[in-house]
Amino acid sequence: MNLENLDTLSQKIQSILEANRRLRAEKAAAEQKVAEKCAEIESLQSEISSKSSEIDSLQGEIASKNSELGQKQATIDSTLKDYESVRSELDQISSELDNKICEIETLNAKIQERDTEIETLKANVAEKDAKIEEMENVVSEQDSEIQSAQEKFQDLLSTIENELGTEIQVTAPEESETAEESQEAAEEDVNQDQPKQEESAQTDFFA
């Protein structure tokens, strides 16, 4: 009876020892894992600290960039205001340019009209010049006829004086003077009419 109890007790002790060994092994394995995890945690904490420093640096850089961005935005806003001002001035200049173009077109039309009037006046002057030339030819022919008649009259008078043996006083005919006066009067009329027409055209043009 005692032997059986001893065997049973011995088996129980063996079983407890084995369980104890397993627990110790498991404890050692667990402690090793804990140590590894602690090392990993320390490594992670060191990395987190490094990342935190990097984050702080990046946050400072972001703040600097935000400040620079604010300055750039202010510059852009000022540039936009200048652009709007310049655009308004360009629109005003464009409107004034359109008005000037309209005025130039109106002036060109008036100049064209005045050119037509000037051409008409030149045609009138040419016509007057032709009439003057025609009258001068007529007067020249009359002068030639009068001179020929005077020469014939003078020859006849000389023949009569020779026949009579005395000098005959004869008043010279005034037809030549009358013809010359008519020619001069006609030229004066034309010359007076021509400056009036040109003056009228110039007055209309400069008006």
Can you give the residue ranges of every domain in the chain? Answer: 12-206
Nearest to 117 by CA among 8, 5, 11, 201: 201
Please report where in the chains the tokens 């209309």 appear, as a residue.
Answer: 204
pLDDT at residue 53 greater than cutoff 60: yes
Cα separation, 84 vs 193, whole angstroms: 61
What pLDDT was estimated at residue 56?
Answer: 86
Q: Each residue of 140-173: pLDDT tens digit?
A: 888 888 888 888 888 887 888 787 777 766 665 4
What pLDDT is recorded for position 147?
A: 86
CA angle at 182 for the pair 179 and 183, rounded to the nearest 5°: 90
Per-residue pLDDT tens digits for 82-124: 888 888 888 899 888 999 999 999 999 999 999 999 999 999 9
The pLDDT score that the predictor gives to residue 196 is: 46
Judged by DSSP in three states, 3 sits in: helix
